[in-house]
Structure 1
Amino acid sequence: MQIKELAAATGVDAETIRFYEKEGLLPQPARLANGYRNYAPAHLERLSFVRHCRALDIPLADVRSLLGALDAPQEACADVNNLIDDQLSRLRARLISMMALEKQLLQLRSACSGEHAHQSCGILNELVAAAHGEACLCHGGKSG
């Protein structure tokens, strides 16, 4: 199959497929006489695996490790377990961060009822004050 067919079958755009080839995540396909790439069913399976890993937000370096484990089925899977445990840790840290962000946004949202003109909007005032405070921090906490 050609790259456009592989892209359509997996939902991965052609540029990303070429990138994965350059990164060694996909083997180079055979070339037809006209120079077009000719992908085999194995490419479809491997690309589907990579796509699923990426949908789980697994970094490319870890996807590469998982592909290595897939290519060496006789090896113990402790490294695979550790990789997924690390991904879970990263996910949990992001969840904590996202909950803190939600709390900040809820506090910000409570600063305005939506009944005032923009110049007296509590949300805008809070954002300006926070931006000013950050700008001041860049100069050792002093303005100007």
Structure 2
Amino acid sequence: MFTSHDGLCGIGELAEAAGVTVKTVRFYSERGLLPEASRSAGGHRRYGPGALERLRLIRSLRAFDLPLPEVRRVLDEDEGCAPGGVLEDAVAGQLRELGSRLRELRWREAALRLVQECPPGERADRLLLVGALTAPPSTAPLARFWRAWLPARMPARSTAAFLDVAVPQPPDDPRPAQVLAFARLNALTLAPCPDVGGRPQPEAHRTAGARGAAVLYAGLAEAYELAAVHLRRDREPHGGEALDSFVDAYARAYGIRDTPDFRRLLARQLAADPRIDMYWELVAEVITPPGARAEPTPGAAHDWLHAALTVRPTASAA
């Protein structure tokens, strides 16, 4: 490749052969990525036959935005000075980073479309609403909201199980409507906790206590699954297994029997408890794919079961 008698080339010749500037060659040389073979009598860098291939490899790696330390490790692996898998790990890391950046850009695009497509009179308020979100948004405010809502000493495993259901994950490629729904969720959870009659939490939390609440939420999860079957079929609230499971969750948490009097009392208690229906409506908007029917949320199942309890307060499958 090189025409000199000793098979070496100068920095200018190497730069020309690689299609880069002398400044680029000098930059990689000074950082130890492109070792020189020797120096001329005048102190100029001289490079061996392998320098061109190495420089091209460096340029290829940098074209994928690999940082210099990663490039060095890949070069060391190529020379047998590092364990295998360095290049694969570096590529995998870049793919993860690229995926995160693409997700961020999709959220920003959907947010901009949301502002662009809304009526002019609403743009300022909507811009403030979506501008409060990161891209993609954090679920931390939602989790903090529920941790304040749940009993303080509820077992960690039970709390984590509930949060998995109650805190929706932002979609990777959102529609503008999903961005708006998540922005409203964010604003809702950052506002003061819902308060009805001076009681910011359901009566069930105080009656059951922290340990009883774990039993309660485990039982409610089963009841909600049963109710979801009826919701998907558009059935009106009625008595049966779902309602019995719902009432049994409260009875076991309170340590009392399921009786007609208990059901009447429970119906009145649930009617007076704080409502966060808006939260669950927004969750349904966030998690529902385009064109799909919204899956029943725990909030929708709870409302269906409470309505069934109100319609048939003393009915039991037992």
Q: Normalization by structure 2: what TM-score?
A: 0.32
CA distance in 1 between partners of 2:111 and 2:41 (Å): 59
Q: From 61, 70, 91, give the equivalent of 2:78.
A: 70
Q: From 75, 78, 90, give the equivalent of 1:83.
A: 90
Rg larger for? 2
Distance of aligned partners of 1:102 and 1:6 in 2 relative to their CA distance in 1, 3 Å threshold: farther
Extract unaligned runs of 5+ from structure 1.
112-121, 135-144
CA distance in 1 between partners of 2:85 and 2:37 (Å): 31
Q: From 53, 64, 69, give the equivalent of 1:45.
A: 53
> Quick check: 1:99 aligned with 2:99?
no
- Could you tell me which residue of structure 2 aligns to residue 36 of structure 1? 44
Task: Give the 5 Å matches for 1:1-144.
Answer: 1-72=9-80, 77-106=84-113
Runs of 4+ in 1 over 6 A off after TM superposition: none
CA RMSD, Structure 1 to Structure 2 (Å):
3.0
- Give the conservation status (yes or no) of the 8 Å contact 1:3–1:39: yes
Distance of aligned partners of 1:26 and 1:97 in 2 relative to their CA distance in 1, 3 Å threshold: same
CA distance in 1 between partners of 2:51 and 2:116 (Å): 49
CA distance in 2 between partners of 1:38 and 1:78 (Å): 32
CA distance in 1 between partners of 2:100 and 2:16 (Å): 34
Kindly state the Cα deviation for residue 3 of structure 1 after the two structures are TM-superposed: 1.6
Kindly state the Cα deviation for residue 69 of structure 1 after the two structures are TM-superposed: 0.3
Extract unaligned runs of 5+ from structure 2.
1-8, 133-318
Identify which of structures 1 and 2 has the higher relative contact order when contacts are C-alpha pairs closer than 8 Å and 6+ apart. 2
SS of equivalent residue, structure 1 residue 77? coil
For these two proteins, the number of residue pairs brought into alignment is: 118
